[in-house]
């Protein structure tokens, strides 16, 4: 019964936002994210700690402004997701435009596949969805949602434009094949990672447990690592899907040293984007939750 109720609530929200005119849906979704944020004090504390850690020089007013922007953009992204069934190659440019696409094409032109390096920035769900409508579908790494009905709904929407999921239990085999076939794999690389799959690198001046998956895949396959992210451009009135030049990898012959160095490069790329658009990153995630041995916790809510 609980699974059905959760699914029904998500279904109603998604369908409702998808039916409303976009401006009205944005207002409603932004109000909903603000309401939920007020009800979840742990998320409030996490966001406050993260912002104080990342921007110690900021005033409280600056941090509050960024949190307000973050909640607005989360609501807006929910609206974009809900409207996926209405988006086509003919109308997608009204919502999002390509910027620096020659950088993606350069990486693709190397012929060994592309690792699309991105994070929970701006409208990350829209970025890969729209890129597929522009003619460049990808495979994306996904964790199954515990509620299988919600999982089916979410991944069904994600795949409407031609993208395909790679779930964790099949990731190694499928990712190698996709890259061998010169395909593209999208990877969100800005979250805390379990120690067995990570190294500690500098992120906003503090050690952060970061996945080594992209560095290991790039080293093994020769795939190009191309940063990409979709951010709201206020003067343009649309999202801008921006691609940066492929990251030039460190290759010294020492595998673990190279993995550490390249993982640090990827983290620095994402940090620079977040610094440029701080109100469009998800500050409510416990990015610094895993700590090096002997270091006290960052999130002490006791």
User: pLDDT of 42-99, one tens digit each?
Assistant: 999 999 999 999 999 999 999 999 999 999 999 999 999 999 999 999 999 999 999 9
Segments forming the whole domain that contains residue 64? 2-280
Q: Is residue 267 part of a domain?
A: yes
Q: Is residue 287 part of a domain?
A: no
Quick: pLDDT tens for 132-166. Answer: 999 999 999 988 889 999 999 999 999 999 999 99
Average per-residue pLDDT for the chain: 96
- Number of folded domains in the chain? 1
Q: Considering only CA atoms, which of 289, 273, 112, 296 is closest in space to residue 198?
A: 289
Q: Is residue 292 part of a domain?
A: no
Q: How far apart are CA 84 and CA 148, in angstroms?
A: 20
Q: Is residue 138 part of a domain?
A: yes
> Could you tell me the pLDDT band of residue 4, with boundaries at 50, 70 and 90?
confident
Q: Is residue 15 part of a domain?
A: yes
How high is the pLDDT of residue 167? 87
Provide the whole-model pTM. Answer: 0.95
SS3 166: strand
Q: Considering only CA atoms, which of 180, 84, 190 is closest in space to residue 132?
A: 84
How high is the pLDDT of residue 238? 98
How high is the pLDDT of residue 2? 78
Quick: pLDDT tens for 14-44. Answer: 999 999 999 999 999 999 999 999 999 999 9
Q: Is residue 285 part of a domain?
A: no
Cα separation of the two ends of the chain: 33
Q: How far apart are CA 191 and CA 121, in angstroms?
A: 12
Listed in order, strand segments (DSSP E) in 39-113 are: 96-99
Q: Is residue 69 part of a domain?
A: yes
The percentage of the chain sitting over the pLDDT mark of 90, rounded to a whole number, equals: 91
Q: How far apart are CA 72 and CA 30, in angstroms?
A: 5
Quick: pLDDT tens for 188-227. Answer: 999 999 998 999 999 999 999 999 999 999 999 999 999 9
Q: Is residue 256 part of a domain?
A: yes
How high is the pLDDT of residue 302? 54
Packed helices 22-39 and 60-82: angle between N→C axes, nearest 10 degrees: 130
CB < 8 Å & 24+ apart, contacts of 268-271? 268/202, 269/117, 269/227, 269/244, 270/117, 270/119, 270/121, 270/189, 270/190, 270/203, 270/227, 271/203, 271/204
């Amino acid at each position: 019964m609980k699974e059905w109720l959760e699914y029904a609530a998500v279904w109603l929200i998604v369908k409702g936002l998808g039916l409303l005119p976009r401006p009205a849906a944005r207002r409603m979704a932004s109000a909903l994210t603000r309401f939920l944020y007020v009800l979840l004090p742990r998320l409030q504390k996490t966001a406050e700690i993260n912002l104080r850690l990342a921007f110690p020089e900021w005033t409280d007013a600056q941090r509050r402004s960024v949190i307000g922007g973050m909640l607005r953009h989360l609501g807006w992204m929910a609206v974009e997701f809900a409207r996926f069934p209405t988006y086509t190659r003919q109308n997608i440019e009204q919502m999002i435009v390509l910027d620096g696409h020659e950088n993606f094409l350069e990486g693709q032109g190397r012929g060994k596949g592309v690792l699309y390096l991105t994070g929970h920035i701006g409208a990350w769900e829209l970025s890969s969805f729209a890129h597929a409508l522009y003619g460049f579908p990808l495979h994306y790494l996904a964790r199954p949602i515990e509620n299988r009905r919600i999982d089916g709904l979410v991944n069904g929407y994600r795949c409407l434009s031609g993208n395909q999921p790679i779930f964790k239990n099949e990731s190694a085999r499928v990712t190698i094949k996709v890259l061998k076939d010169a395909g593209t794999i999208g990877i969100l690389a800005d979250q805390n990672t379990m120690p067995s799959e990570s190294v500690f690198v500098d992120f906003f001046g503090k050690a952060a447990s970061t996945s080594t998956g992209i560095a290991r895949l790039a080293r093994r396959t020769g795939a190009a690592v191309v940063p990409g992210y979709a951010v709201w451009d206020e003067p343009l009135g649309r999202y801008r899907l921006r691609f940066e030049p492929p990251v030039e990898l460190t290759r010294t012959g020492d595998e673990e040293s190279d993995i550490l160095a390249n993982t640090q490069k990827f983290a620095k790329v994402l940090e620079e984007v977040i610094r440029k658009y701080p109100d469009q990153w998800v500050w409510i995630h416990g990015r610094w939750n895993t700590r090096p041995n002997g270091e006290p916790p960052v999130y002490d809510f006791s």
